[in-house]
Amino acid sequence: MALTGLFLITFLVVHAGVNAMIFWNDGGVTFNMVAHFFGTNIFIRTMEIVLFLGLIAHVVDGLMLWRQNRAARPVKYAMEKGSASRSWYSASMGILGTLILLFLIVHLWHFWVKSRGIVGSLDELPLDPEGQENLFALMVQTFENPIVVVIYVLGCFSLFWHLLHGFKSAFQSLGLNHKRYNPIIAAFGVVFSIIVPTLFALMPVSMYFGWIQ
Ligand code: HEM
């Protein structure tokens, strides 16, 4: 779980970085250029397969862990001590993970399925002046719908909670903990868990309100 989790975290950094190009507010010129490079680069396209395998492994591992935990204690505690024994988000990793998975299905349907021509025709995609697929215009179109924007913000919120626990827990599972460095890892984890999902959430929100055009 820890290794696949850290791998998915590196994907998030790249994904957020590429998407953040929309904040240049230049009509998507820079973003489309970078997205086109990533979409056509053979190394990145190969990594896309590794990414999906990593994602599946992370979900399967998570389900196995959840089953193991249940099997270890078939009879529930008479009294749950709640946050005294485990923090709320630690206990809810499964629920949050499931919410992120649901968000991902909706998200891939909006962008990936369309941009890869898996469903529908590539001819239906908006094009930029150079005749290349205009992912920026697809984003603007997608985030015209307020319900979609709310789903994305909730997805980002689930990601925030999931990362908040997952980040430091990954280091612990790998045995990478040391009295001196633990506070630094924990602090970095908190900052990361806030910055990345906030950056993502700002994308649909700023497009919906027309701050980015
Ligand atoms: C909220 C703002 C987000 C926006 C605007 C956004 C936008 C996009 C776009 C445009 C693509 C298609 C890229 C292409 O076809 O070349 C994509 C793909 C993808 N996104 Fe996002 N994304 C967001 C958040 C997220 C989050 C939070 C996750 C993960 C938890 C995520 C996971 C993915 C995955 C797995 C793919 C497919 C893999 C790939 O194309 O390489 N996205 N996203």
Residues 65-117 have pLDDT tens digits of: 878 877 776 665 555 555 545 556 556 778 888 899 999 999 999 998 887 77
Please check whether residue 85 lies inside any domain of the structure.
Answer: no
Q: Total structural domains in the chain?
A: 1
Q: Ligand 1 mean position to 23 CA, how many Å?
A: 16
Please check whether residue 9 lies inside any domain of the structure.
Answer: yes
As a whole number, the mean pLDDT across the chain is: 87
Is 126's C-beta closer than 6 angstroms to any atom of ligand 1?
no
Please check whether residue 46 lies inside any domain of the structure.
Answer: yes
Is 115's C-beta closer than 6 angstroms to any atom of ligand 1?
yes
The closest of 49, 53, 48, 27 to 126, measured between CA atoms, is 27
Give, in order, the Cα–Cα distances in Å from 212 to each of 24, 134, 136, 138: 9, 15, 10, 13
Q: How far is 170 from 89, CA to CA, in rounded Å? A: 15
What residue ranges of the chain have pLDDT lower than 50?
Answer: 84
Please check whether residue 77 lies inside any domain of the structure.
Answer: no
Residue 143 CA: nearest ligand 1 atom is: 5
The closest of 200, 167, 196, 197 to 184, measured between CA atoms, is 167
Please check whether residue 61 lies inside any domain of the structure.
Answer: yes
pLDDT for position 180: 83
pLDDT for position 80: 54
Q: Ligand 1 mean position to 12 CA, how many Å?
A: 9
Please check whether residue 169 lies inside any domain of the structure.
Answer: yes
pLDDT for position 147: 97
Q: How far is 62 from 2, CA to CA, in rounded Å? A: 10
Indicate which residue's Cα is closest to atom 39 of ligand 1: 48
Indicate which residue's Cα is closest to atom 18 of ligand 1: 112
Q: Which domain holds residue 137?
A: 2-72+90-208
pLDDT for position 90: 56
Q: Ligand 1 mean position to 89 CA, how many Å?
A: 24
Please check whether residue 168 lies inside any domain of the structure.
Answer: yes
Assign 150 to helix, strand or coil. helix
Is 204's C-beta closer than 6 angstroms to any atom of ligand 1?
yes
Please check whether residue 120 lies inside any domain of the structure.
Answer: yes
